[in-house]
A and B are shown apart, each in its own frame.
Chain A
Amino acid sequence: MESEFDTHFSEEERTRIFEEEMLPHLDSVYNFAFRVTYDEEIAKDLVQESYYRAYKFLDSFQRGTNAKAWLFRILKNNFINDFRKRNREPSMVDYQEVESYYNSDKAKSPVSGKLKQEPFRHAIGDEVTNAINSLDIDFRMVIILCDLEGFTYEEMAKILDIPIGTVRSRLHRARNILKGKLMQYAKSLGYKKKKKDE
């Protein structure tokens, strides 16, 4: 039977590449989907659709390159182009504004100055997850990709289709917002500044 997919791989090769290089990343891809959608069923649909597209367009994957990053990029595009529209995710951040902020004196954040003693170390479990979930999607993505999945800036830039400089500034900004949120939580627990760094 003729394959429905345009390919120079045989059906057998296609299946082998898919199973050996794509499927081992299923947990990470699902975790990413869940972290951007907060919904197990939607995440499952998103992962299924992304894997289907990966299989369909397997010829555009260069063997020997990072399959995980390639899958994440497909999922991100799928999410942005389809799922987010369908689920009416809140509007995107104005990056011109963010970049202007980052390049300004205001970026010598009063938050970072107050946080020398790391009060957010006291924040735990759900509070950390809630703080991440409350970030705008574009900030949340860089935190997940960098701090949970360990992608390099270069890989993140490819996944997100943005310049490396934007990855760095977005990450910096996302972390500052997170610090602020976790500091508020620490204060709500009655945290007071320590005398010395641990």
Chain B
Amino acid sequence: MYHFDPANELGDKSRRELIQRIIDGQATDEEQKWFDDSVTDCSNCECRSYCIQVSALKDIIRENVEKKKAPADLLDTIKKKIKS
């Protein structure tokens, strides 16, 4: 079973993947704890910088991209199609 060891030196790719998982809410508790303990307060850290960028990008997408609603007649059209 995978065990996350904070003492391990992670490569750049692993760090980016880990941070992406954290920002996307898909990190394990262990990974989240490591991040909270090690990265959140690190003011001169590439991990933190990358984290800020990806978080900002997600926020921008959520806040600015309109979620299109289905046209009013689509539901009836679908119901008619499956009943025909």
Cβ-defined contact, A52 with B82, below 8 A: yes
Cβ-defined contact, B60 with A168, below 8 A: no
Cβ-defined contact, A179 with B74, below 8 A: no
Interface of chain A residues 116 through 148 with chain B (CB within 8 A) = 116, 118, 120-121, 123-125, 128-129, 132, 143, 146-148
Shortest Cβ distance from A174 into B: residue: B57
CA distance A112 to B69 in the complex (A): 34
Cβ-defined contact, A129 with B66, below 8 A: yes
- A70 interface residue per 8 A CB criterion: no
Cβ-defined contact, B74 with A153, below 8 A: no
Cβ-defined contact, A52 with B69, below 8 A: no
Cβ-defined contact, A179 with B53, below 8 A: yes
- A197 interface residue per 8 A CB criterion: yes
- A7 interface residue per 8 A CB criterion: no
- B49 interface residue per 8 A CB criterion: yes
- B13 interface residue per 8 A CB criterion: yes
CA distance A18 to B82 in the complex (A): 10
Q: From known contacts A23-B75, A26-B74, A51-B78, infer whether A168 and B17 are also in contact, taking CB-CB under 8 Å.
A: yes
Cβ distance B73 to chain A, nearest Cβ, rounded Å: 9
Cβ distance A58 to chain B, nearest Cβ, rounded Å: 10
Which of A29, A115, A118, A128 is B65 in contact with, Cβ under 8 Å?
A128
Fill in one digit per residue for B7-41: 1 if any A CB lies within 8 Å of its CB, else 0.
Answer: 00000110011001100101000000000000000
Fill in one digit per residue for B57-72: 1 if any A CB lies within 8 Å of its CB, else 0.
Answer: 1101110111111110
Cβ-defined contact, A148 with B67, below 8 A: yes
Which of B13, B26, B62 is A103 in contact with, Cβ under 8 Å?
B13
Which of A28, A51, A121 is B82 in contact with, Cβ under 8 Å?
A51
CA distance A107 to B12 in the complex (A): 9
Cβ-defined contact, A147 with B62, below 8 A: yes
Most B C-beta atoms less than 10 A away, residue of A103, A123, A148, A175: A175
- A48 interface residue per 8 A CB criterion: yes
Cβ-defined contact, A123 with B66, below 8 A: no
For the complex with contacts A23-B75, A51-B81, A129-B65, 18 further pairs of A-B residues with Cβ separation under 8 Å are A26-B70, A27-B68, A31-B68, A35-B68, A43-B68, A48-B77, A112-B53, A116-B52, A118-B53, A120-B60, A123-B60, A128-B61, A128-B64, A147-B58, A148-B62, A148-B67, A152-B26, A153-B24
